[in-house]
Amino acid sequence: MAARSQELFRKATRLMPGGVNSPVRAFRAVGGDPIYMARGEGPRLTDVDGRTFIDYVLSWGPLILGHRHPEVMEALAGVMETGTSFGTCTPAEVELAERITEAYPSLERVRLVNSGTEATMSALRVARAATGRDKILKFEGCYHGHGDSLLVKAGSGVATLGLPDSPGVPRALAELTITLAFNDLAALEEAFRVHRNELAAVILEPVVGNMGCVPPAEGFLERLRNLTAEQGTILIFDEVMTGFRVSYGGAQELYKIRPDLTTLGKVIGGGLPVGAYGGKASLMDQVAPSGPVYQAGTLSGNPLAVTAGLKTLEILRRPGAYEKLEALTRTLAEGLRSRAVHAEVAVTVNRVGSMFTLFFTPHAVTDYTSAKTSDTARFATFFRALLGRGVYFPPSQFEAAFVSLAHSDEDVAQTIKAAGEAFARLARGK
């Protein structure tokens, strides 16, 4: 029994909306009460009741090195000797900006912020200011944070909880957001015909992670790049999740596409709150104080997040880092698929680099509609079976899972074994 977690949740429900500070943590999609974690170490989490789990959530992606990497912790201990936040310029923020722009040639200028949501909101403001247009285009199931313009047909927790598209968002603002199915080239062509020279920006996750992991179809990103360039529309890659995750240079390096603006987060903070947006100098020089587009933040570029990010990127640049991530995640994805086939449980496994999703559907998952064919009840049963065997997957069918450099071959083998037992239980209808 998770007695301490249950006690904490009962108290939390009196103090916080739904008892949580972020919706997916509430376990509404998988049943039962949420687990309260007490400690992370390497690839594992330990809860307040003393149970240990192999972790494939990794704080929703940032912990690509695993929990409490000793070099990151040492670097943080060092900066704690100097202070936590000054509200001034610091040397380390300049160094992190340099590392980011080196890794992402499309980012000629970059601005550090405090979250992915802040980054995407700011990038859209720049795009609208630069083009003098108001309309934006996004894709169903792509989540870009909880900014008003971006909560229309969003994925992530909105999909998990089955919430309406945009409650609380003014109708006039929602009407400026056009949505399309991801990977639908015909719909993309039609949208650019109907809204010719009216779109300020197109924003997308080049590899979607917030309806589960969904890669781009062949030619989709290329055609999108061409259409936006032809009509003077700003192409924004939301690489908050994929940045430094699917490769050191993110999805834009992997697919050889250069966007106009990019948003980053998660990995660049090494587990601390961080975000960034950047792109062409001609666009970013419109941001205050260089230009009239206002954006500011008291904690932006704070020494703790910047230090953790710098050490994380340093470790990721070492030889073999991404080869190890690729090999571990490939083995895990293939093992999950094989065990499901053996148990005669219909699943689809999508993977790009070290992010993946196991969908409980026999159909290929290429967009939000196909992702929603998943059997969420079966996923919930599978999730709870894994949890009982010491494996922590995302508590939602519509969230990507992640592998870290701290995971070992033994961890992966143990996970595949646990999944095999969970699939067998599903096949028996239990």
- Active-site annotation holder among 138, 266, 280, 311: 266
Give the span between the Cα atoms of 189 and 183, in whole angstroms.
11
Q: Give the DSSP H or E segment for 261.
A: strand 261-265
- Active-site annotation holder among 55, 238, 367, 375: 238
Answer yes or no: 322 catalytic. no
| Tokens 């010719």 -> residue | 196
Which strand ranges, in their side-by-side order, compose the sheet holding 234-238?
109-113, 275-279, 261-265, 234-238, 199-204, 135-139, 177-180
Q: Which of 27, 51, 55, 31 is nearest to 41 (CA)?
A: 55
Give the span between the Cα atoms of 354 and 124, in whole angstroms.
28
Give the span between the Cα atoms of 298 and 388, in whole angstroms.
43
- Active-site annotation holder among 56, 104, 143, 322: 143
Task: Answer for the pair 104, 263: CB distance below 8 angstroms, yes or no.
Answer: no
Q: Give the DSSP H or E segment for 352.
A: strand 348-352
Answer yes or no: 143 catalytic. yes
In degrees to the nearest 10, what's the CA dihedral of 246, 366, 336, 162? 100
Answer yes or no: 266 catalytic. yes
Active site residues: 143, 238, 266
